[in-house]
Structure 1
Amino acid sequence: MTTPSRLPSPYDSGGGSNLADILERVLDKGIVIAGDIRINLLDIELLTIKLRLIVASVDKAKEMGIDWWESDPSLSTGARHRELSEENENLRRRLAELEAAPEATKERRDPG
């Protein structure tokens, strides 16, 4: 009776800690991947795509000055609340202007 030879599995328990260590290091330090794709035809540039990818933890991104998600209404409830408050204030101001307009027109026509 022969036993099949056993090949090393990439899913052994030892590989998980290595992956976790790498992920922790990348999120702690951050990593930038950049690349450009250019399509030319007879020395005429038809298309240029610039790719920039930053992988970092939220804390590291804030440390680098990147915090765009805090002001994006689709990603932040605080930003959505601010956007709604500004819209509400603009509508109230516009309504006050519209309500004041007929009174000013009436005063001009009937001074007295």
Structure 2
Amino acid sequence: MTTPGRLSDPYASDGGSANLADILERVLDKGIVIAGDIRINLLDIELLTIKLRLIVASLDKAKEMGIDWWEDDPALSGAARRRELARENEQLQARIAELESRHDDSRDAHAEVVRDE
């Protein structure tokens, strides 16, 4: 008795094929860029253009490429938020000092006017 032939399973893992973890490791190690543009025109008048750029890479690879925006984004980094608050605090203190100085100058000028009368 013969057994019917069996089709090979395309998803079977054999020694020559890469599994998802291997592919993901390679992509994150090397990085991959996906780019595309979306344009919306009406009667040959451009209404909207959206440029999409997607980079998939590990953090180390992204830093190697000079991409580290998450370190300076106050919404994503506590250190960046503290830096932003310190900068804002310095600006506010300088503004208060300026206003107090103006107030003192105007008070002194008013006092001189009163003395002269």
> Common fold, TM-score beyond 0.5?
yes
Q: Aligning the two structures, in what range does the TM-score lie when normalised by the shorter sequence?
A: 0.7 to 0.9
The runs of 5 or more residues in structure 1 that have no matched partner are 1-6
- CA shift for structure 1 position 101: 2.3
Structure number, greater radius of gyration: 2
**Matches for 1:45-84 after TM superposition, within 5 Å:** 45-84=46-85
After superposition, give the CA deviation of every residue in 1:71-105 in whole Å (9 maximum; x if it has no partner): 11101111100100011111111222222222212
SS in 2 for 1:110: helix
Task: Output the TM-score relative to the length of structure 1.
Answer: 0.76
SS in 2 for 1:45: strand
- CA shift for structure 1 position 44: 3.0
After superposing on structure 2, the runs of 4+ consecutive aligned residues of structure 1 that deviate more than 4 Å are 7-10
Amino acid at match of 2:25: E
Aligned length: 104
Query: Which residue is equivalent to 2:109?
Result: 108
2: CA distance, partners of 1:37 / 1:74: 28
Alpha-carbon RMSD across the aligned residues, in angstroms, is 2.6
The runs of 5 or more residues in structure 2 that have no matched partner are 1-7
